Structure 1
Amino acid sequence: MITRAVVRGVGHYLPDRIVENAEFEKTLDTSDEWIRSRSGIERRHFAAEGQTTSDLATRAARAALDNAGLTGADIDAIILATSTADLTFPSAATMVQAALEMETGFAFDVQAVCAGFVFALANANAMIMSGQAKRVMVIGAETFSRILDWEDRGTCVLFGDGAGALVLEAQEGEGTSGDRGILAADLNSDGRHRDILYVDGGVSTQNTGHLRMRGKEVFRHAVEKLAATADAALQKAGLDHADVDWVVPHQANLRIIKATAQKLDVPMEKVVVTVQDHGNTSAASIPLALSVGVERGQIKPGDLVVTEAIGGGLAWGAVVLRW
């Protein structure tokens, strides 16, 4: 027997404000057709004035708790993946902890940009397998609208705000690839590629900064690295492409999603796609897509799911789990 980190509940939250592509035509040299053809994005959600990342994360966490039939008191730890925390410190995760009235346990943030949720899942899995925690709330939440340059049509039309959450719970498995829960993870980073996707500011530079991206180079790295990390995670789990029921990729760009699926030899019918409605929500995109996939009736108990993501750093990784 082996301890597995099994999904007990899932939920998400999107801010009320929906921004259609046409809104950008008023201030930028762009069009709905231009944005759709290059990214597949049709709309995105933006947080309201005064609405913070921890607010979004708390809403998603409550939805996941409701789905699991649990309360904040049942959770041992919160890991929140974000690059847009409310404050320099304390962590946004501790703010969610307080909001959920979780008076014991621990909470912390993970920062790996768009790959953050995959990194957070791997950390949660390790904690559960080691006995450090029995139930872990894993959240991805972002307010990327706060760091966009509204004059840069190559980036500001691509991103949105939102949050998604999973409750992972320790359960006994047989130690085979047929077990429910996280079966394998593969994490990577390469700091030499920092300049192709970054924010040109931060605490020690005394400047908030804006997101900067060299799109063609990001695309080139993304397809190659996403397929490779998904392959590596499947190999660690003792599984193959043919075993996959659903790929739930980071929702950055429809062309990247399609090219990666082709490289993995997985038909698009087995790929959960939400980028058209949410844009790129960075660390929130995978848990958002997981929650929507369950809501749609796509992802069902027992399905083998592969998640993969790449973000600034560069940081990238994949997780294989049986729902």
Structure 2
Amino acid sequence: MLIDNIRLFLTITEKGSLVAAGREVGLSATTVSERLAALEAHYGVVLFNRTTRSLSLTDEGRTLLGGAKIVLGEIEDLDARIRHGAETLSGPIRISAPIDIGRSIVSRVISSFTADHPEISIELLLSDGYVDLVGQGFDLALRFGAVTDSTLRTRSLGLFRRIVCAAPSYIASSGAPLAPADLTQHNCLIMRFGTTLDNVWRFEAGKKPQSVTVRGNKIVNDGSLVRQWALEGHGIILKSELDVASDLQSGRLVALLEDFAPPPNPLQMMFPPGRAQPRRVRAFAEALNSTMAVKGAG
């Protein structure tokens, strides 16, 4: 019963409320509350700060969350080895990824991986903003740039450029910037990453960094939409080469200011703190790493 209550605790954490957790596992909110109370009584601590409108983990709850994912992962791996043989992988994996590469690269890896390992189930959540890896119960997340949370474990999937580009129709009507400062005279389509507005674009000229604050008539938190606007000729964008490589090769988009390109950004896999990932997560990470190694080589 303790293990079942710990699993329910993880579901409450992932869903953000007792009602949503109960709906997920087919229990009433009253039953979920009773089982959470039993778990708190077992440990002699409060696991959640509760108000009428929100539910947040206490320090003890965060400690349990980190340890519970490891313990339950080990139990599921052991169960799979006993039931299906040592080479079989099974169980759930929750992944967070940026929208564009999630729809393209990550989705293809998932399709191949689940075909090879039919006992695996994967939940993919796409977001270009910040995610709380531990609080939202993710096993793995992908993000560009440096990771500021030092408690997370990281693994680089390679270095990739961000490219300033626009459609030929935009260039025909508005011209092309010849230097980064010219961007202030252009309509730039701007991404929002969570609470951060990506309107300061960075460049390098002769190893000297420079930045330009850009403006435009469209801001969005969806990488696919900002790319679509660019393809339709609405303005200039700054996107990872992974997102626009096929558009540049086909001529649907044209790279701009290439002489001023800054150093490439790392694409990172992030994992929750703990001793080790379950075998299924390690195996998926290897599959993703192999795919990205080919992309980087290309």
Shorter-chain TM-score tier: under 0.3
The structure richer in helix per residue is 2
Normalized against structure 2, the TM-score is what? 0.26
Q: Looking at CA atoms only, which structure, 1 or 2, has the larger radius of gyration?
A: 2
